[in-house]
Amino acid sequence: MDVTRTSVPAIDERPDLGQRPIGVRGYIALGALVLGALAALGAAFIEVPYYALAPGSVRETVPLIEVEEDHRFEPDGIVHFTTVSIRGRITPWEWLAGSLDPAVEIVHESVILRGRDPDENRRVNLQLMDTSKNQAVRLAFQRLGYDVVVPGGALITRVEDGQPADGLLEINDLILAVDDVPVAEATDLVEAISGRGPGDTVRLEVGRPDSDEVEHLDVMLAPKEEDPTKGFLGVGIETRQDVEFPFDVDIDSGSVGGPSAGLAFTLGVLDVLTPGEITGGSQVAVTGTIQDDLTVGPIGGLPQKAAAVKRAGIPVFLVPASQTEEELVQARELAGDDVTLIPVANLDEALAALEELGGNAEELATVGQN
């Protein structure tokens, strides 16, 4: 029987499979690939000292305003306040993505932190929010005709070295009376002291900032430099103003910080405390600080807030007239044609703008009188 045999080549006779050394160029290509992978990995996880400001939320003020039912009026329209989403210490990928998004602003962390660490910056912004809320409630009451600011004595702001008050009085002490005559305002203390001569002793009733007890101090007056015939205590003073609301109003702002909701909260409180519609029944977004003189101050992140308002579908956005023209132009571009931006310089202009929407601003001034 014939058998066909197949020969197997010896080891040294096997075909060449192309296994050759990598060579210099191969190592360079491999190194480039490794470096590229490491760079991509670093861009995804390594943080850089920049913050990304992006459109945040648009929130209703009315549900956050707490007041007794006897004083509460539920409006149909709602004043909303706006926020900015802040992402701290972003990655290079986030930096690149934010730089390509017109609704995002990339800023160095020093612009946000201003020399503070993140925790301290958070505490400062929460305190600014608390101050803004208290101010909004006070200004709303005043706009409704309530007298809420009550003089509370003469507050010591300066004590001159070597003068009679030195060593007896301190900054932030409160003078409540002179020789049993009440002191309600700084001018009361000035009149009481100017009527005495050098060498006269006056009895001061003093409140200390760290104590509930009232102290009585006997102080001998010195001659006044510009008029030696008059007595001199040697302090700088201003009227301390206490605020007494006719009833409690609280605003629950949660974890939101900063002062930029001041105008929105003022309008929201006005709406809740009065019958009728301050917005004419419309949905209105509002941003801007509010000052004691009722002026509306500029805020940060206006373009991002405008983009958030557009996303929320709210048709009207009241903004500070004190923003830069560049910020207003950018905000209008991001808001688009569906949102009307209305710059306002003060509370009266904001109320007038809402009145154009059908609001009842003219009815507000006499609510709290008498």
The better pLDDT of the pair 130, 32 is held by 130
Q: What is the pLDDT of residue 149?
A: 81
Placement of tokens 């956005």 in the chain: 317
Tens digit of each residue's pLDDT (9 = 90 or more) over 306-359:
999 999 999 999 999 999 999 999 999 999 999 999 999 999 999 999 999 999
C-alpha neighbours within 13 Å on the C-beta side of residue 11: 0
Q: H/E element holding 350? A: helix 347-356
| DSSP-derived secondary structure letter, 7 | P
Radius of gyration of the chain from Cα atoms? 34
Q: What is the pLDDT of residue 370?
A: 44
b/e map 226-247, b = 16+ CB within 10 Å? eeeebbbbbbebebbeeeeeee
Mean pLDDT within 97-114: 93
pLDDT band (50, 70, 90) for residue 26: low
CA gap 126, 128 in Å, rounded: 5
pLDDT at residue 6 tops 70: no
Placement of tokens 């305003």 in the chain: 65
CA gap 363, 355 in Å, rounded: 11
Q: Is the CATH number of domain 55-147+248-363 3.60.20.10?
A: no
The better pLDDT of the pair 92, 11 is held by 92
C-beta separation of 159 from 175 below 8 A: no
Q: What are phi and psi of 292, to 5 degrees?
A: -60, -35
Class of domain 149-243: mainly beta
pLDDT band (50, 70, 90) for residue 11: very low
C-beta separation of 140 from 270 below 8 A: yes
C-alpha neighbours within 13 Å on the C-beta side of residue 134: 10
Q: What is the pLDDT of residue 117?
A: 93
pLDDT band (50, 70, 90) for residue 361: confident
Beta strand ranges found along 104-248 (DSSP E): 105-108, 149-159, 174-178, 181-182, 201-207, 214-220, 222-223, 231-232, 235-243
pLDDT at residue 2 tops 50: no
Q: Where in the chain are the domains?
A: 55-147+248-363, 149-243
